[in-house]
Structure formats: structure tokens, C-alpha cells
Structure 1
């Protein structure tokens, strides 16, 4: 079983969209969750994130989850949205280093641009751009995970 944990800051924008995109694919043998390094428990996804998912015909009921050792132990793969998120995880939980990557690092191994833009506070258009980037990366992620 492949267990994917997407991680961002507050677990209201990027990681919930990534979770929704991958879950929507309904791939047997892949489970997915999301969490935030500085998330409060139980918050809804941001309005623009929800709207973008709806526009792309993805249904996702989301409540934010603070990142904890429990979620990381559950995961076989931890994918962060930024190098900063990855650094927080590795600094706080050094034993997670072998399964923690930025999403871009794992998928395209870009040594210079490993961060996914944070749409928080931006327009719905910005959220749409982030969604498209996540969608493309997750298409490649599925291929890599099946290898």
C-alpha cells in the first residue's frame, strides 16, 4: 500500500488541493491525506481552493490537520510544497528524512525551483494557477509511484 501525505503550511490551500487531486483519481493501492506544519485542527479549505476544485469537478470534504508524528508514521511518502516545509519536518523528525521530499524534487528533480507557489491571500486566478501546477505534478507523481 502506498500512503501519500501532502504537507503545506496551514493545510487550507495547497496540500488539500493536492490531496483532492490524487484522491479523485481513485487509484487502487494508493491512500492519501494532507496536513500542515502550522495548521490548526478542523479548519475548512480556503474558499478559493474549494471553488477551484468545484470548477474542476473534484469533490473534496476537507478539515485541516496539524502535522504530527502519527500522520508521518502512517505515510510511506511525505511530499511537501516547499523546501521550508521539508526542512521543518527533517529538523523536528530526523527519522523521516528517507521518505520526505518536496513534490517537485520527487517528480522532476528540479534542483533550483522546488517550491510550489502559495496562493494564500491571492485571487481565485492564482489558486487556479497553483491547481494546474499541482495537477501536472501529480500526473507525474502517479507514474513515479507505480515504477
Structure 2
């Protein structure tokens, strides 16, 4: 089975690029990954702290932000959002995506909950979000039938 995972957050500069970089770094066969934001500005770099905390784990985040588009929704086999609000926005805008859109926590654990937004926080807050995402990515891989 081949998977095309689209991570979505608000501005596509913190959470979704970190999630995408963490998953891409696993170099899993049959898994493609992208990220986008529901209110992103096209072409922005990832947040400096997001890049720094990924670099601490040996991951270079070469990223440019992207506004969520219909083509992204069509490309994805799974759309994983950082919050319930993002999920509702996507389903509202792209009702055809309802069956493949979940919050990341909901998809991995079956439980409701949002991934905390580090935007504007300290590097330590970004580390906490990175570690939260890393654990969720390991759970995601397990759920998709791979090994983290």
C-alpha cells in the first residue's frame, strides 16, 4: 500500500512542516509526505525555532510554506491536521475530503486532542511540540503497518 500523507496546520511554518520533516526523515518506502496551512502565506520559511529543534535531531528542514489547495487534497490519501479546528475548516472547504481527514491525535490514538501550537514560544516550547509530534509520527507509522 502506498500512502500520501498531508499534514495541515495554520500557517505552515511550525507544526505541519515539523511533522512532515519528522516523517520524511524516516525514509519509508511507499510513503510520500507534504504539508500545507489553512491560512498560510505562500513561500515563507519554516520558523527559525522549528528548524533549530529539528536540526538537534539531525533533520534539515528545507521548507517553503504553502496554502492548502484542492490539488493537495486530491493528492493525499490521508490529511492529518494539528487541531479539530483545522479539520473542520478542511471538511467545510473540501467536503469530498471528509473520509480521509483526521486530527493527527485522532488518527493515531482514536482520542480527541490538538497538537499544541509553539508559535511565538521559546525554543523549549518548540522542543516540546517536536517531541509530541515525534511520538505521534511513531504511532502513525505503526498504525500504517510499518515500524517506527
Question: How do 1:1-147 and structure 2 match up within 5 A?
Answer: 1-111=2-112, 114-146=113-145
How far apart in 2 are the matches of 1:26 and 1:19?
11
Aligned residues: 145
- Cα deviation for residue 56 of structure 1 reads 1.1
Q: Which SS does the other structure have where 1:146 is aligned?
A: coil
How far apart in 1 are the matches of 2:93 and 2:62?
29
CA contact 2:46–2:61 (8 Å) conserved in 1? no
Cα deviation, 1:28-72, whole Å, max 9, x if unaligned, reads 000000000000110000000000011111122000010011001
Cα deviation, 1:80-103, whole Å, max 9, x if unaligned, reads 000000000011111100000000
Structure 2 residue ranges without an equivalent (≥5): none
CA RMSD of aligned residues (A): 0.8
Q: Which SS does the other structure have where 2:144 is aligned?
A: helix
Structure 1 consecutive aligned stretches of length 4 or more whose deviation exceeds 4 Å? none
